[in-house]
Each structure stands twice: as structure tokens, then as C-alpha cells.
Amino acid sequence: DMIHGIYNYDGKVLWTNIRVENDTLVTGYRITNGWARTNYTYFAMSFSKPVVHYGCEEKAKINYRGGYGKFNMKENFPDIGGRKIVAYFDFDPAASDDLEVKVALSGVSTDGALKNLRAEASGYSFDQLAARAGETWNKELSVIEANGTDDQLAMLYTSLYHTMINPCVYTDVDGQYRGLDHNIHKADDFTNYTVFSVWDTYRALHPLFNIINRQVNTDIARSMLKHCEQSVHKALPIWSHMANENWCMIGYHSVSVLADAVAKGLPLDKEEVLKAMVSSSTIPYLDGTGEYMEKGYVALDHNGSAASLTLEYAYDDWTIYHTALLAGNRSVADTYKKRAANYTNVFDTNIGYARPRYADGRWKENFNLLNTHGEGFIEGNALNYSFYVPQDVNNMVRLMGGDKSFISKLDSLFTMHLPAEFFAQTEDVTEEGLLGGYVHGNEPSHHIPFLYAWTSQPWKTQYWQREIMNKMYRTNIDGLCGNDDCGQMSAWYILSSMGFYPVCPGTDQYVLGAPYLPYIKVTLENGKTFEVKADKVSDRNRYVKSVKLNGKPYTKGFITQQDIMDGGTLTFEMTSSPNKKRVFNGADKPYSLSSN
């Protein structure tokens, strides 16, 4: 069936082809139009016994057959083509009782698919290939060892598995791949990846990879740079897959992925990275970017996502500023440091929350903090989005009225009742993903539980972290509280299980909360191991009394990438009541653009 697809709407399939190469080999391709505007999928299919008869039917109305009209294409014709083709193959049951079919895919050509088939499946039985796949997954998943209940470990390893599905390899065995320009390129010194759901995955998936999959993340970063090079817009991926950019969601968050990779020591050319970052952030026709560069904010009368765009662009610009510092480019750093402060232009200090404004500078009238539609925010409301200043939490606290006011706003977010009318018509904000008014089922809020680390009550992170993990991650069939979004939801769980989270990717810091499990060991690619111990941790003993790193008292509210890569042991002493004296000040407080 060359017609069927997951959405299966009429017109999605543009063209199909099946070529019967011989009595045991079939090749072909399909071109579809959808989220990936022009998606080429080539295949090679090998049968374990010979085809004795075959045929097809074209389900679409044929306007023109040309010279092909002289053939009977319905039976035993080896060059089958059409828009809606279904085909069948008959085999002699006397030849054997079993039929084994091997299929390989390529984004390049049927020849590429055939090379992949021969390299990866030739000479192996189904059972052998299944066993090899099991061994491969076992090896990949063994990067983490942990203690916990059966349900806890099932959740941990399910999450780890989810993080390794996408991004996925989009390269043939000979290194060829289809690029964004739809030309065929050769990846000589890297593996090309695709499926970049960057609005989701920059937050935790790529920072997690910088711990457990550094080579993979290096290849992902290089794939992104090639994407930019091949883009007629000279843009890094927004949401790209199968040699297509679909422009889904907001921001230019690949700059965050690259900034985090540079800050955490992946072997990338800083100048090449910075050039791609600047190019991606200066496309005037991209989602209000021109107005943003001119005014310092995106106006609501020009874009329905104006406030969330301004907030997310400001963070992205901070990542460019920070990378420019690391690259020694003071001019670019100065420019983007100013742009990183643009979030202040949509903060209404009279109400203590972010609020969109019009092109003439006026604030939006009849503003509602809880609405997810018509208020200038995409897939979220002002109540959640106002906490999105990961690059400058200190100043965000000030804009929200100071420490006590900020804590009160956080507390209220987690404990309030959010009436159904405010999320009923929002596809990505659903009731099972809510904790009070906090939305864990969608990504913009994922860092919020860790923001208490900048306040006088950091122990509240430890409380809410465990509440979220208990409620939003369960081993039932409906146990995930939202779309996993290419591994982001699961990466949050893994990092949080270890007791920390990258609130601001692009720094080298992971903000401390509390571990979920009593023991986790990560085997690093440099051969060292990093262990997290929390012997008495439980729902009751969820609070951190003290922390030690390699046996020495540790007073910071974060650990660094280097702490992890050096190997060693992070030990949490857990207790049933919060240690209210454990507060982070000065250099012990996590990074903020505004000085601690």
C-alpha cells in the first residue's frame, strides 16, 4: 500500500514508484507532501523466495498515461508508477512455509537503500537481526545504572529509550544524504541527523546528550550547521526533518543547542557556530524578527505570539552573546547582550507579569493572565510564560516585585485551580499535564520548578519536583502527561531523577534540586563515571539537608559540566523536613545575566 500515511488525507502522496528488479528484489520510492513539504522515501525490499506473479491497481483518476498506455500495467509489469498505487506479490507456498522480507530505507535513492540493505541485513536472519538490535539497545541504555522500585526503573529506562529515538540518523552507509537544498551531499567527517524539534529539545534533551551522548550531539550540531549552509535563508533549523524545514513553533532555538555544545566543550569551530547564529537571528521576515530588531519587541497587532516571541528571542540572543564571549568576539557580544535584555520590554511591572504591547507602545487592553488564546502567547498563558527569562532570573525576580513577591507567584502557580475554560481549546495544554496552574505537559514551563534556587526558599524546588514526577510520569498506558516531543519530556525526567536541571542551556551549569532515586551511575564517554547517591530518598524524605561532592561539603546551587565530566560522586543527605538555612548567595547562586 503506497497510499497510506499516518494522517492519510487525500493528496498527501504526490507520486509513487515500484520497480521489480528481479524475482526476489523490489525497489521504489514515494514522494509525499505534508509537514515535510517534499519528502522522498526510497526503499529496497528483498524476499526470501521468488515472486511468481504480481500486479497493481491505481486508485487515482488518470488524466494522462502517455506511451505507458500501450502496456498492461496491472499485471507483471516491472515499472509501476502512479499517485495512488497498491500492489501485490504472489509466492509459491511449495517453495517453503515461511516468507522473510527485508526492507531498507534511504532519503537519497533506491541504490542507497539497496546499499543499506546489503550492509545492514544481508546474510542475517530475522532472529539474528532482532538479537543484534537488542544488544545495541542494551549497550546504549546501559549508560545509566540505577536503583529503585520496578516502576521507577521502568519509567527511567523508558524515558532513556525515548530520548534516543529522535533526532535520528539520516545518512546512508556510504555517507550520502539528502540536504535541505534537496541536493545529495556527502558526510565525510560526521553522521547527518534529522528530526529537529528544537523548540522542545533545546531545553533538556541536548543538555542531557552533552553528558551521555557527546559524539551524537556533536554530529547533531554539525548537521545543524550544514542545514544552515544549505538553507536559502541561511537559517539554522527551526523544526526540520527529512531535508525539509517546516518552520513550526517560535524562536531560533538551534542557537541554544549550539551555544550549549560550545559551552560544554564539544569540538566545534566557534567562529563557524557564531556566524550561523548571527545569520539565523537577523532574518527580517522571520516571525517578527525585523520588528524585534527595530523596536526591541514584537508587536501584538502584527503577530499573535508577540509576547512569547519577544521572551524567547531574548533568551536566544543571550546564547549568541555568551558564545561570542567564548569566541572572543566583543562586537557581537555587545550587540547581543543588549538584545538579550529585550524581555524587559514586555514586562508590565504594574501587574508583575509579562504582557504584550502594540506597535505604538501601549499595553494590550482587557488582558487575562490565564487565557491561552488571544493574549500574545503561543501554547501557553502569561501566568506560565512570565517565568521565561532563564538567562536573567535575578532581574526577573526584581521585575516581579522582589523575592517575597516572586516566591508568592511561584507558590500560587503550583497550588491554584485553573478552570477548564482556560485550556479546553488548547491542544498541547491538557488537564493531565497540569499541577495547579503549572503546565508540565508542554515545554515552556519545564524550568519553572527550579527557579526557587534563586530565592530565599530553594527547598520548594525539592517539594514540587517530586510532585511532578509522581503525577506526570507513571507506567500506565496513559502515564505520560503530554506529547514527549522527541524526547524533551523524558529528558526532563532523567535529569530531574539525578537531582539537577539545565535552567539556562548555554551556561555550563545544572541547577540543583533533589534526586528521585537512591542511586544513579552514569558511564561517560571519557571512561569515567559520575554517581549520584541519595540513600534515604523517598516521598517523605524529599528534602535536601546537605550535599557533598567527592566527599567534600558542597554549598553551591548548581554543579558544572566539568564537575560531571571529571567523574566522581555527588551525595545528597535527605530528610523529611526542609533545611531552610540552605540558601544560595553570591557565587553559590546559579548564573544570571544581572550580577548575583
Domains of the chain: residue spans and CATH: 13-123 (2.70.98.10), 175-280 (1.20.1050.60)
What 3-state DSSP class applies to 355?
coil
What 3-state DSSP class applies to 118?
helix
Q: What is the pLDDT along the chain (596 residues), one digit of tens a residue?
A: 999 988 889 999 999 999 999 999 999 999 999 999 999 999 999 999 999 999 999 999 999 989 999 999 999 999 999 999 999 999 998 888 899 999 999 999 999 999 999 999 999 999 999 999 999 999 999 999 999 999 999 999 999 999 999 999 999 999 999 999 999 999 999 999 999 999 999 999 999 999 999 999 999 999 999 999 999 999 999 999 999 999 999 999 999 999 999 999 999 999 999 999 999 999 999 999 999 999 999 999 999 999 999 999 999 999 999 999 999 999 999 999 999 999 999 999 999 999 999 999 999 999 999 999 999 999 999 999 999 999 999 999 999 999 999 999 999 999 999 999 998 888 888 899 999 999 999 999 999 999 999 999 999 999 999 999 999 999 998 899 999 999 999 999 999 999 999 999 999 999 999 999 999 999 999 999 999 999 999 999 999 999 999 999 999 999 999 999 999 999 999 999 999 999 999 999 999 999 85
What 3-state DSSP class applies to 5?
coil
Grid coordinates in use for 527? 571512561
Q: What are phi and psi of 191, to 5 degrees?
A: -100, 125
Q: What are phi and psi of 521, to 5 degrees?
A: -125, 130
Amino acid at 130: A
Residues 124 and 222: their CA atoms lie apart, in Å, by 33
User: Strand locations in 38-191, DSSP E?
Assistant: 39-47, 51-58, 79-82, 85-91, 101-106, 144-147, 168-169, 176-178, 184-186
Residues 220 and 238: their CA atoms lie apart, in Å, by 14
Mention every residue, 6+ apart, whose C-beta is less than 8 A from residue 152.
146, 516, 517
| CA nearest to 203, candidates 515, 496, 583 | 496
Q: Are 372 and 424 contacting, i.e. CB atoms less than 8 angstroms apart?
A: no
pTM > 0.85: yes or no: yes
What is the Cα Rg of the chain in Å? 26
DSSP per residue, 402-449:
SHHHHHHHHHHHHHS---GGGTTT-TT--GGGEETTEE-SSGGGTTGG
Q: How many helices (H) and strands (E) does the chain have?
A: 17, 26
Q: Are 5 and 34 contacting, i.e. CB atoms less than 8 angstroms apart?
A: yes
Q: Are 16 and 24 contacting, i.e. CB atoms less than 8 angstroms apart?
A: no
User: Strand locations in 288-405, DSSP E?
Assistant: 347-348, 353-354
| CA nearest to 448, candidates 459, 457, 438 | 438
Residues 14 and 33: their CA atoms lie apart, in Å, by 7
DSSP per residue, 183-245:
-EEE-SSS--EE-B-HHHHTTTHHHHHHHH-HHHHHHHHHHHHHHHHH-TT----SSEETTEE
Q: How far is CA 234 from CA 181, 269, 286, 339, in A?
A: 11, 17, 12, 20
Position 596 scores a pLDDT of: 58
Grid coordinates in use for 364? 494590550
**Which pairs count as long-range contacts for 225-231, CB under 8 Å and 24+ apart, including other chains?**
225/258, 225/268, 225/272, 225/273, 225/276, 226/179, 226/185, 226/187, 226/192, 227/179, 227/180, 227/196, 228/276, 228/279, 228/280, 229/276, 230/179, 230/180, 230/181, 230/183, 230/185, 231/180, 231/181
Q: Provide the 8-state DSSP code for 97.
A: S
Q: How many other C-beta atoms can be found within 10 angstroms of the C-beta atom of residue 5?
A: 14
Query: Which H or E run includes 140?
Result: helix 126-141
What 3-state DSSP class applies to 472?
helix
Q: Are 78 and 89 contacting, i.e. CB atoms less than 8 angstroms apart?
A: no
Q: Is the dihedral of CA 218, 219, 222, 224 positive or negative?
A: negative
Q: Are 58 and 85 contacting, i.e. CB atoms less than 8 angstroms apart?
A: yes
HSE (CB half, 13 Å, CA atoms) of 511?
A: 33
Q: What are phi and psi of 406, to 5 degrees?
A: -65, -45
Instruction: State the residue for C-alpha cell 544513579.
Output: 520
Helices (H), 423-580: 459-472, 488-497, 561-565
Residue 72: exposure state from Cβ atoms within 10 A (0-12, 13-18, ≥19): exposed
Q: At what angle do helices 270-280 and 254-263 cross, to 10 degrees?
A: 160
Q: Kind of pairing, strands 39-47 and 101-106?
A: antiparallel
Position 428 scores a pLDDT of: 84
Position 7 scores a pLDDT of: 84
- Which residues does residue 104 pair with via DSSP β-bridges, in sequence order? 44
